[in-house]
Amino acid sequence: MILNFIDGQYREGGGRIFNDINPVDGSLITHVSEASREGVDDAVRAARAALAGPWGSLKLAQRCDLLYAVAAEIDRRAEDFLAAEVADTGKPRSLASHLDIPRGAANFRVFADAVRNVPTEAFTSHAPDGKPALNYALRRPKGVVAVICPWNLPLLLMTWKVGPALACGNTVVVKPSEETPATAALMGEVMNAVGVPKGVYNVVHGFGPGSAGEFLTTHPDIDAITFTGETRTGAAIMRASAAGIKPVSMELGGKNPAVVFADSDLDATIAGLTRSVFENTGQVCLGTERVYVQRPIFETVVAKLADAASRLKPGRPDDANANFGPLISAEHQQKVLGYYALAREEGATVVCGGGVPQMPRDLKQGAWIEPTVWTGLSHQSRTAREEIFGPCCAVIPFDTEAEALRMANDTRYGLAASVYTRDIDRAHRFASALKVGVVWVNTWFLRDLRTAFGGSGSSGIGREGGVHSLEFYTELSNVCIKFNGATE
């Protein structure tokens, strides 16, 4: 059974026992112990105590050394993390081994470096009597941070928040998704192995409303909430946080466009689109679900993208011939299939996919889905406007740059966009006019972790990454010291 990790110990959470299901074949991986309100209380209390205890008195360099040790221990136990992540998500081992697990370790190193290198601002000013005063900024940890995570990149997205939160001296209570509790739980062993003091890293398992998610985000002794997940959940958490005036960081959904100009390098474009539409079975917040293609190459791009989709091979994570996993759950499969039906009702031509693939008998209970490409959909259709979070896209033609820009920006979301062109002037012009937090030109997902990450509109509030994470995970105080002895 997967247990909660509270105050350095694995223990039952006092709530129900729920199932952790393998999306590949619907089998039971293990049971999970849900944290009750009291269980969450215990975790928050442990996190509060650790702040005042050994964690709070560590020097910055010692804290950073510990975070480097955490990263090294994740590397050392990469096979265990890989097995846990792949069982929970069903994603190909090759994907998890080159993306999820190494990024889990990198998130501790990058933010240890970032916090070591952040400069302190200082200004001199003058008092009315002409004496000088030195103003300088002090950074303190926010305190106890609630970290609420989704299921699509469980370790990567959890450490993306825990790394900087700990680097800044906070303690955390993590609530992983009920679909993917395993790697957050395993991190408790890592923390203990390298000597992170007890109570610094805590994990409570469970669901959202009426469960650990709600108990944590409404807890009066939480100092800040950092959330990644659906926009609607983000709104619920913001409502919950309003009562306590808690700072929130919100990394939410998207309906990200890719814009392909006729002058683009076609092979590189298809390679980029194939990843951004289908990687992780389309379950990436930054993934592309709207593809606008300039008319002269429209048919070619559609044919090549459909061809690439048809080459994706669903199968077990450790099947060396397979490169395409299932969706996270039967419930999510039903949601995505609902959009596949809606697309047809809205007049889509299904160029490829559109249903559930034929799978061998032992995989029939898995949450499998076909990678799908549509044409013929209006830019105004619900299929082209609502986040599906599946391996599918609507391909829509355009004639002019202005028309492409108008459609790309015509959304309530504002997370990411990709542009494919060989024209560097156009790349700059288009990138600066896109209303999104992350723009890629001729690539996708590539990112220096020191850069700002986040979205606008319904895609979120705030930015994390590099110094932007340090802004969220610290409180700034200005100290003004007057030098009374000085004359000018």
Decide if 285 is catalytic.
yes
Interacting residue with ligand 6OD among 203, 240, 284, 377 (CB under 6 A): 284
Q: How many whole angstroms separate alpha carbon 243 and alpha carbon 20?
A: 33
Q: How many whole angstroms separate alpha carbon 252 and alpha carbon 209?
A: 18
Distances (CA, A) of 58 to 108, 194, 423, 471: 17, 15, 51, 20
Nearer to ligand NAD, 230 or 423 (CB): 230
Q: How many whole angstroms separate alpha carbon 392 and alpha carbon 313?
A: 15
Interacting residue with ligand 6OD among 203, 286, 308, 367 (CB under 6 A): 286
10 Å CB burial of residue 133 (0-12, 13-18, 19+) is middle
Compose the 33-72 pattern: x for residues touching ligand NAD by CB under 6 A, - for all others: ----------------------------------------
**All residues at 6 or more sequence positions from 378 whose CB lies less than 8 Å from its CB, including other chains:** 346, 347, 384
- As given in the structure block, the two tokens for residue 398 are 């355009």
Nearer to ligand 6OD, 55 or 389 (CB): 389
List the single partner that 401 binds among ligand 6OD, ligand NAD, none, CB under 5 to 8 Å by kind: none
Interacting residue with ligand NAD among 387, 462, 473, 474 (CB under 6 A): 387
- Single out the catalytic residue among 34, 73, 179, 251: 251
Which candidate, 457, 445, 410, places its Cα nearest to that of 103? 445
- Single out the catalytic residue among 285, 352, 392, 393: 285
Name the amino acid, one letter, at 270: I
160 is a site residue for ligand 6OD (CB under 6 A): yes
175 is a site residue for ligand NAD (CB under 6 A): yes
Within 118-210, where are the H helices?
A: 154-167, 182-194
Compose the 275-314 pattern: x for residues touching ligand NAD by CB under 6 A, - for all others: ----------x-----------------------------
Q: Is 15 helix (H, G, I), strand (E, B) or coil?
A: strand
Beta strand segments in 85-218, E:
122-126, 132-141, 144-148, 171-175, 201-203
Interacting residue with ligand NAD among 3, 173, 196, 237 (CB under 6 A): 237
368 is a site residue for ligand NAD (CB under 6 A): no
Interacting residue with ligand 6OD among 285, 343, 350, 393 (CB under 6 A): 285
Q: Which residues bind ligand NAD (CB under 6 A)?
A: 148-152, 157, 175, 177-178, 207-209, 213-214, 217, 228-230, 233, 236-237, 251-254, 285, 387, 389, 415, 455, 460
Catalytic residues: 251, 285
